[in-house]
Amino acid sequence: MGALVPLKKTPTTYSSIEKCPYCGKEKIPQTTELFGMQITVVLSCKCEIEAFDRKMAQIKNHEQNERQKLIHKNSGLTGAVQKLTFANFKSRQGTEDALQVAHAFVDNWEDRLRTGAGFTLAGTYGNGKSHLAAAVIHELINHGISATYQPVAELLKRVKATYDGSRETEAQILEWLHSVKCLALDDIGAQKQTKWVEEFIFTVIDHRYRHRLPTIITTNCNTIDGTDGLSEALGERATDRLLERNVFVRVKATSYRREIAKQRLNRDREYMS
């Protein structure tokens, strides 16, 4: 067998001088040694580097915009709910504690996400519970945080529709409810309670409890100590998890809708007198 002949180390050469496509300056080849071999490279012009950075920034901005669109699309803030924000919430006697808790939840979001702590608003219908829940979701999605507002009755109809061949499946809905950073379940207790409803709600709350994902609850149930109304609406197991993780607030204000109706009636009477 013959002796091995070492390969000849040949430097890379450039037959022509490249120019920057932006400023037109010549890019002088630079020669250096790497692993005992002479190599020649052409360094990018400052203009090319800046153009590349701008392109990357545009791509990043586009991706952020698309993500924000997707967050808004899945937020559940449709129809009249789109207008429910902190800015137009009318603070009335009996709403002070709920408003404070809702603001604190947003202001301390990172801590809430770390601990999985949510809040539950209980009280009569029409007193601002849903408004505050939607306002929180608005604030979170405006900061690029995945969050969704779901009236429970509508959510259950959507799930049941999957059994009749709708385009989405129950598994897809659950995956979405399980993964969103903040979930607001509005008006729990208004739905007809069945074993299936109890199991579905428990599945959602239990998953979020185990993965420390904050959940907001609003309910018309008369009690919030987990022994009567709320446990009847959610079931004992789901209620037990919420009692540990959520701050419970009774909203004592009267129905704002009835106040408006009363004011309108008084104006009509004055007009007719």
Instruction: State how far the Cα of 227 lies from the Cα of 183, in Å rounded to an integer.
Output: 24
pLDDT of residue 261: 61
Q: What is the rounded CA–CA span in Å between residue 23 and residue 29?
A: 17
The phi-psi region of residue 261 (left if phi > 0; otherwise alpha if psi is between -120 and 50; otherwise beta) is alpha
Residue 166 or 20, more confident: 20
> pLDDT band at 137, cuts 50/70/90?
very high
Alpha-carbon distance values, 23 to 14, 43, 44, 175, 183 (Å):
21, 14, 12, 52, 52
Q: Could you tell me the pLDDT band of residue 120, with boundaries at 50, 70 and 90?
A: very high
pLDDT at residue 167, rounded to an integer: 85
Residue 105, pLDDT above cutoff 60: yes
Name residue, tokens 């779901």. Answer: 150
pLDDT tens for each residue of 151-189: 999 999 999 999 988 788 999 999 999 999 999 999 998
Concatenating the DSSP letter of every residue in 153-222 gives HHHHHHHHHGGGT-SS-HHHHHHHHHHSSEEEEEEETSSPP-HHHHHHHHHHHHHHHHTT--EEEEE--S
- Which residues lie closer than 8 Å to 184 by C-beta, 6 or more apart? 76, 133, 134, 136, 137, 147, 148, 149, 150, 215, 216, 217, 218
59 beta partners: none
pTM score of the predicted model: 0.72
Confidence (pLDDT) at 177: 94
Task: Determine the average pLDDT of the residues in 200-229.
Answer: 83
Q: Look at residues 119, 181, 116 and name the one whose alpha carbon lies nearest to residue 148.
A: 181
The answer for residues whose C-beta is within 8 angstroms of residue 115's C-beta and 6 or more apart is 212, 245
Q: Residue 116 half-sphere exposure, CB side, CA atoms within 13 Å?
A: 16
Q: Span 189-204, mean pLDDT?
A: 87
If one compares 182 and 31, the residue with the highest pLDDT of the two is: 182
How much is the average pLDDT of 127-135? 95
